[in-house]
Amino acid sequence: MTDILYMVFGADWENSLMIIFNLILIESLLSVDNAAVLATMVMDLEPKDRQRALRYGILGAYIFRGLCLIFAAWLVQIWWLKPLGGLYLIYLTWDYFSSKNTPPKEDDTLEKKEKWYYKLTNGLVGSFWATVIAVEIMDLAFSLDNVFAAVAFTDNIYLICIGVFIGILAMRFVAQWFVKLLERYPFLEKSAFWVIGLLGVKLMLSLPSHIFEGSAFAKVIESETADLALSIMTASFFFIPILTSRFLGWPKGNK
């Protein structure tokens, strides 16, 4: 039993537990965001079809996240996928904050109809199945978010698999609790995307680390100390605003 625990967590128990804790936070918040987007995409369907489309969406999310367990093992073997994933996470952060600065559309539920794949499939299989296909495509994108965020924390494949599995559980059991948390502390959504951007930067730094492999810079970036510092910073993005909101009244939450 001891050998198994050592193989999974390594000698640095504190860092591994901190990584798992941060994975629970970020994967749960990502799952809330994912669920909100999926719910929005089905709102223009007939009420009787909405739940059915969401069931297909949740099933697809489980399947894609399960496949990501395999993908994660492959991801850590190919060095150039890390900076590519980092670029993707930075893009997600930029897209989120830039969209916050643009006026909302009159009907966000119809945004899917602007996508080329919806236009293509709608003419072939009808609006319901076109919506299901659009939902599954979003599931695939969300699953990539899931695995790239986990890889940014650690190269330990066991911890990555734990992180992806947490994402699966979060969609089923934790999302509703985090919805309530976000209702009380809406600023946590911004915190989540700042963290995603931070993880993107961490993955992007693997590029100079690979180029200058063996250098002092590479050793610092790839060290357990750097992983621990990232974990502490990630937790701080969530807990410091909550504490200042409760005791100092800033940023403002909801009663």
Amino acid letter for position 147: V
Please check the confidence at residue 109 and state whether its pLDDT lies above 50: no
Are 34 and 41 within 8 A, CB to CB?
Answer: no
Give the residue-averaged pLDDT of 134-140.
Answer: 81
The band of 22, judged by pLDDT with boundaries at 50, 70 and 90, is confident
Are 41 and 112 within 8 A, CB to CB?
Answer: yes
Give the residue-averaged pLDDT of 85-93.
Answer: 87
Q: What is the mean pLDDT of the chain?
A: 77
Query: What is the C-alpha to C-alpha distance for residues 246 and 139, in angstroms, rounded to an integer?
Result: 35
Please check the confidence at residue 174 and state whether its pLDDT lies above 70: no
Query: What is the C-alpha to C-alpha distance for residues 18 and 61, in angstroms, rounded to an integer?
Result: 26
Q: Where are the domains of the chain?
A: 12-111+139-248
